[in-house]
Amino acid sequence: MKKKINVLVRVIVMIMVFVITIYFVNIFENRNYKNLAKEMNDAELPLAYVSYGDTLLNCMHGYTSDVDITLLRDSITPIDEQKHIEILVQNDKKYASGYSYEIRSIAGDSLVEKGDIEAADNGSGYDELDINVRMDLKKDMEYMLVVKASSEKGLAASYYTRIVVNDDYHEAELLKAVQDFHDASFDFNALETESVIGTYKTEYAGASTGDSFGLGHVNLANDYADIMWDGLKPTVVSDINIYIKEIDVNYAVIEMEYNASSITDQDVTSYYAVKEFYKAGYSLVEVSDSEADGEDSYGDASYGDASYGDASYDEEYSYTDEESQGGQAEETSHTEPKITMFSYDRYVDEYFDRTGIDALNNVYEIGIVSSDDLEYRYVENNRKIAFVRNGQLWMYDYDQGEIIRVYSFCADDYTEDAATYDAHNINIMEFADDGNLTFSVYGYMNRGDHEGKLGIGLFTFDYSTLEVDELLFVECNVPYEAMKTETSRLTYYDGQKFYYMMGGKVNAVDIKNRKQSYIAENLSAGDVKVSADMSVMAFGENEDQSQNTRITLMNMKTGNSYDITAGDGECLICYGFKDSDMVYGVSDIADAGVDADLESFSETKYSEESRDNIPAKRLYIVGSDGSQIKEYAKDGCYLMQVDVNANLLYLTRGEKSNGKFVAIKDDFITFKEDDSKQTIGTVHNSSITGYDRLYFTVPENIYLSYIPNLNITKEKIDDQNSYMIMTIEREKVTYHVYDNLGLSKIYDVAGDAINYAESVAGIVVSSDGEVIYRKMESQEYNTIAAGIFHHSTGTVDASLTDCLYMVLNYQGVQVTEDEIKQYSDPVTVLNTLGKKKGINVTGLSLDMLLGYVSDGIPVISRIDDGRYVLIVSYNDEDVRYYDPVENKEIVVSREEYIDMMVVCQNESYTYVSE
């Protein structure tokens, strides 16, 4: 018995010693770690879809933070006059326990309707939500539908799609046309003559986009073989998400998103993120019965058997007795539906695969790309490289033969929508020789501790421990599409303060004190230039170059700023940065009225965007400390456009001749590089794999031969990180241009935005959420002269007030001249006193201005001696305007009026109808 007790005591003592030893070893081993590490939390939020017949449309991701819905244009859902909406929520993880909905004005400031929703199980793992809208919704007016899912833990996620009531958008036929085109692109053995794609290519009247990234971007101008994947033969491996991005009675913009894979002859599987954009229109065309011969006039592109909703079409043909007896009959006709494919663009981005080492050519494959815009950094000895692909941050260490996936919402699962959702991106801010990284992640957080939130995260990566540490997260209300136009350009961390651009400000957060301030405000995204390493930025005082007499250069690494000022009668323009050196030009304000002879520049780089710039007579390069490095000036020579490239400045030049700028020989400013120093770069090559892919090139002393080992990081659990919430409130109205890929550019002046939208076939939406421009066919002639009540005070100085008085009166608003004179800006007058949204359309061509008159809207235009007139009528040859100085209507030719407008730089104002 005593032996048993002694044995038991020994066992207990040994266990105690073991536990104590483990305790102290754990303390010793982790003495340099404040916290443990963990893997990123899996996504929990369900996805929501609009149910449309047998199809799921407009996939919606849940937001757990506030969202500025005026900037959210992910999708739009047309509904009929019954106003029934069916939403399916993929609630297989049982996040949601209750649902409600809201319908708001597109500006978000007015609640139209709200209510709770009783969910039903549709038997396929989805919660089915039926919404029957009670309130009257105005036809063709956009509203925002917000579906809210609440959890038993007290959490909530909101889902957004715009809705619009109209029975005549023909979305069923358009959706089927898009589906047929997509399906045809995967029918690899079909001949062009047998494919619906061939039909659309034959009818296509557009042009190529001008880029050349092989399969990375194709459109209808490409060869049929390119649209058919040129032998790649991929397979779709995920759901195909279909989004209606824009729709009206004229056309719809429809997007398809999915992931695909292909297998090479060497049994290597590659994965691709694919986006397809279609701009298609529906119309009824008149077809001769003899031509139709019982068949649709557009052959394979017919949609009589549309399976989306109730889109069936049946046409009966009747014949006269004469025809049935073989006699001569009058030709009869009927109308048939026709789908026109205005444009098609497919963008393909290959997911990075660490196995892409090509030892023979000594390159590392990045993959098929839709753009050359690749974010990457390398260390001094070129032995390490960090880069961003498809929202993933990678770091390759040549010496250690390993590659680290530093940050990613998506692991290797390319089938899950939540994992591969790409509404975020990454900026690399610092890459040290030891492999440590500082980076920022901005946009929508797919998973992790901030899942469903919008914001910016500041992170560091410790290569020795493979840990990612979050130093700061700033939650905001700006959707990714709007955020990226600013935040992608500037995030910088100096070790104490984190700088980032958002809301027209350069914000600064002191990490230690957890305090936020800003160091610059009222900035326009298009007017801010930033150095490659984001440590230096420059901005002007005014987006209008003629009023821009100062450029501020800010060095965030040193905390110093420098002001560069123009001389009398001069203005400045910043062209950008060469490394950390700023390039800017000095122009004469008087040259703003001098046109360019565009024909003479037809063979040059002179672009549409540069035509708004005043050519510079001198060019300067200054360092990050404000010191002048170089001056460029030649008598009689003007810089029409300056392109800042890697090793040179490309100068498109002109001279004055007969009152215009005329092209002369281009020039260059080169930067001497150390020819002996080789660095990592990128190159396109199609000879290696048969398809145009992008590759990393390495110096000659590096030999790529082995597939690197893969390491995955973990998140450091750190209670010391900072969390902040920032709500962006816009201080001025801005105008956002949306093209195929979403938000493209932001402008302060509506006319500039409309001009750009015209060039990219886009639309313009104000920051209040209203569509102010969408390309539409204008009438051949129109007049609103009879509706204009003439008002004249007989002076040039008062002509603007007279025109504003007439426009407001035309809207049915009774005002006095004194009320109008309280405001200095015409747009403010229209917005404050009027019933419609006023816009500054300065810079638009006469043809585009007449588009407003075509819609029954008068246009205020400045001409000749500075007087303002009201355009009220037009036809294919002439323009009629009311001149309040002369107190009469005047008719001139279009050419004459264009000459009169140019004198005042096409200054114009109008408004948009609802």
Mean pLDDT value of segment 227-249: 94
Question: Residue 852 — pLDDT band, cuts 50, 70, 90?
Answer: very high
- With b meaning 16 or more CB within 10 Å and e meaning fewer, what string describes 7-25? eeeeeeeeeeeeeeeeeee
Query: Does 210 have pLDDT greater than 60?
Result: no
Whether 357 contacts 707, CB under 8 Å: yes
Q: Which fold has domain 525-676?
A: Lipocalin (2.40.128)
CATH of the structural domain 47-74+81-165, one choice from 3.90.76.10, 2.60.40.10, 1.10.3720.10, 3.30.465.10: 2.60.40.10
pLDDT of residue 296: 43
In the three-class reduction of DSSP (H, G, I as helix; E, B as strand; rest coil), residue 788 is classed as coil
Between 122 and 189, the higher pLDDT residue: 189
Query: Does 700 have pLDDT greater than 70?
Result: yes
Question: Residue 212 — pLDDT band, cuts 50, 70, 90?
Answer: low
Percent of the chain with pLDDT over 70: 89
For the ranges 60-69, 222-231, 306-315, 402-411, the lowest mean pLDDT is seen at: 306-315
pLDDT in tens, 349-372: 999 999 999 999 999 999 999 998
Q: Distance of CA 577 to CAs 574, 651, 860, Å?
A: 9, 15, 39
Q: How many CA atoms lie within 13 A of 390 on its CB side?
A: 27
For the ranges 311-320, 438-447, 494-503, 594-603, the lowest mean pLDDT is seen at: 311-320
pLDDT of residue 332: 84
Percent of the chain with pLDDT over 90: 66
β partners of residue 558: none
DSSP state letters, 596-652: E-GGGGTTSS--TGGGGSPPBSEEEEE-TTS-EEEEE--TT-EEEEEEE-SSEEEEE
Residues in the chain: 914
pLDDT of residue 328: 52
- The DSSP symbol for 63 reads B
d(CA 779, CA 683): 49
Overall CATH class of domain 782-912 = alpha beta
pLDDT in tens, 711-760: 999 988 776 677 888 888 777 788 999 987 788 888 888 988 898 888 88
Question: Residue 11 — pLDDT band, cuts 50, 70, 90?
Answer: very low
CB count, 10 Å around CB of 589? Answer: 17
pLDDT of residue 25: 39
CA 765 to chain centre: 13
Query: Does 298 have pLDDT greater than 60?
Result: no
pLDDT in tens, 883-911: 999 999 999 999 999 999 988 888 999 99
pLDDT of residue 6: 54
Query: Does 567 have pLDDT greater than 60?
Result: yes
Question: Residue 439 — pLDDT band, cuts 50, 70, 90?
Answer: very high
Q: The pTM is what?
A: 0.87
**Every domain of the chain and the residues it spans:** 2-31, 47-74+81-165, 171-314+332-347, 525-676, 735-773, 782-912
pLDDT in tens, 97-143: 999 999 999 888 899 999 999 999 877 889 999 999 999 999 999 99
Q: Which of 389, 406, 390 is nearest to 715 (CA)?
A: 406
Whether 71 contacts 736, CB under 8 Å: yes
pLDDT in tens, 41-54: 888 899 999 999 88
Mean pLDDT value of segment 215-235: 94
pLDDT of residue 525: 66
Question: Residue 5 — pLDDT band, cuts 50, 70, 90?
Answer: very low
Q: Which of 327, 178, 180 is nearest to 244 (CA)?
A: 178
pLDDT of residue 176: 96
pLDDT of residue 121: 85
227: left (phi over 0), alpha (psi -120 to 50) or beta: alpha
For the ranges 205-209, 772-776, 825-829, the lowest mean pLDDT is seen at: 205-209
pLDDT in tens, 604-646: 999 877 888 999 999 999 999 999 999 999 999 999 999 998 7
Whether 618 contacts 657, CB under 8 Å: no
Mean pLDDT score of the chain: 87
Mean pLDDT value of segment 378-387: 95
